[in-house]
């Protein structure tokens, strides 16, 4: 992280959230340079099926998505990552259109750069990157769009799962409020499945997810002057069926006191105390449709991967 503002925000968030009960850390802090690399490795694990299932659905159904959408069209993605998914769709969309405007929204400059390079290879596709939060970026895209065309928003990778239920509804409503009737949302979301499959996906036998999770402690040590002993915490994935969510936790293996210089604070752990670092909510396909429809959308098409239990759903702003 660069700049003193970012560091003091990080420090304030950490101090506040480690004082909660249970102790928490925001999942966005998992994604520094190393964390993003570890997440990319997770996406290649045999037990983590989200990324492969979604790419397969996009590959098989991109032409059907393209056929549902108006011309001219603006395509925008919230969090494009390496740009593989938007490139796949852009190729299908530009096939029977003379031109396609794309807008990328991400807080990570390297994600924007990588995706811009990838999309730059497609004839007829223009690219603009917005280094901004999803809401702010979407406002900019909606304001700058040309007169009569349509807008397709991509929100993929099951990123919706990180929001708790009410925040998910509010976020979808915020997206809806920047759209006009006839604009579209393509949502990729992981579905609820048997608990053993979920635990394997979030506590893999290679220990990559454990490294991804513990990296947030390493980051606090480095950026905030913390003295977390990484070997004194264990990664755990727990499924809460009542909430239908997987929780990632870091469990203290002994009684210990941790100091964090930039927070001017110490945190005491008993053996078994844990830090809750992420939630991944899992929906049933109908519940997912209802959640999005409750935010002012109508479901047009839903494609499922029955093996992975993953849904790609196309909505239109009602
Ligand atoms: C990127 C938020 C969709 O919740 O599945 C993967 C992050 N965490 N393994 C998810 C994650 C642990 C991932 N999302």
Model confidence pLDDT, tens digit, residues 74-107: 999 999 988 999 999 999 999 989 899 999 999 8
Mutate to test the pocket of ligand 1, among 31, 164, 280 (most ligand atoms within 8 A of CB): 280
CA-angle at 227, arms to 247 and 239, nearest 5°: 5
Distance 98 CA to ligand 1 centre (A): 36
For residues 88 and 110, the model is more confident at 88
Pairing of strands 23-24, 73-78: unpaired
Cα-flanking dihedrals φ and ψ of residue 314, to 5°? Answer: -105, 120
List, in sequence order, the alpha helices (H) in the chain. 4-18, 33-43, 50-68, 84-95, 109-119, 134-144, 165-178, 195-202, 208-224, 285-293
**Mean pLDDT of all residues belonging to the chain:** 96
Residue nearest atom 2 of ligand 1, based on CA coordinates: 159
For 231-270, the pLDDT digits (tens) are 999 999 999 999 999 999 999 999 999 999 999 999 999 9
58 and 89 Cβ atoms separated by less than 8 Å: yes
pLDDT of residue 28: 93
Do residues 223 and 253 touch, judged by C-beta distance below 8 A? no
Which residues have C-beta within 8 Å of that of residue 24, sequence separation ≥ 6? 17, 18, 275, 276, 277
Q: How far apart are CA 293 and CA 187, in angstroms?
A: 12
- Report the phi/psi class of residue 244: left, alpha or beta, with left for phi > 0 and alpha for psi in -120 to 50: left
Percentage helix, strand, coil for the chain under 3-state DSSP, each rounded to 5: 45, 30, 30
pLDDT band at residue 5, thresholds of 50, 70 and 90? low
Compute CA 179 distance to the chain's CA centroid, rounded to the nearest angstrom: 21
Cβ < 6 A, ligand 1 pocket? 42, 50, 157-159, 161-162, 202, 209, 248, 278, 280
Q: What is the pLDDT of residues 261-318, one digit of tens each?
A: 999 999 999 999 999 999 999 999 999 999 999 999 999 999 999 999 999 999 999 9
């Amino acid at each position: 992280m660069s700049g003193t503002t970012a560091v003091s925000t990080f420090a304030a968030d950490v101090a506040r959230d480690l004082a909660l009960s249970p102790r928490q850390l925001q999942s966005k802090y998992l994604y520094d340079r190393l964390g993003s690399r570890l997440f990319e490795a997770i996406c290649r694990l045999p037990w983590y099926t989200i990324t492969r299932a979604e790419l397969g659905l996009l590959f098989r159904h991109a032409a059907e998505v393209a056929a549902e959408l108006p011309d001219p069209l603006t395509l925008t993605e919230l969090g494009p990552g390496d740009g593989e998914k938007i490139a796949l769709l852009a190729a299908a969309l530009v096939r029977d259109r003379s031109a396609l405007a794309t807008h990328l929204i991400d807080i990570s400059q390297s994600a924007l750069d990588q995706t811009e390079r990838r999309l730059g290879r497609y004839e007829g596709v223009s690219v603009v990157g917005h280094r901004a939060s999803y809401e702010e970026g979407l406002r900019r895209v909606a304001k700058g769009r040309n007169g009569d065309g349509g807008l397709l928003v991509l929100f993929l990778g099951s990123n919706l799962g990180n929001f708790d239920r009410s925040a998910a509804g509010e976020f979808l409503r915020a997206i809806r409020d920047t759209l006009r009737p006839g604009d579209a949302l393509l949502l990729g979301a992981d579905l609820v499945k048997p608990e053993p499959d979920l635990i394997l996906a979030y506590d893999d036998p290679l220990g990559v997810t454990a490294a991804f999770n513990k990296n947030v402690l390493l980051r606090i040590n480095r950026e905030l002057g913390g003295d977390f002993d990484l070997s004194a915490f264990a990664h755990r994935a727990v499924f809460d069926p009542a909430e239908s969510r997987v929780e990632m936790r870091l469990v203290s293996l002994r009684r210990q006191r941790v100091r964090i210089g930039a927070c001017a604070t110490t945190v005491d752990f008993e053996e078994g105390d844990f830090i809750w670092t992420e939630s991944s909510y899992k929906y049933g396909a109908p519940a997912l449709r209802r959640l999005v429809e409750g935010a002012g959308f109508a479901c047009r098409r839903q494609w499922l991967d029955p093996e992975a239990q993953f849904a790609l759903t196309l909505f239109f702003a009602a």
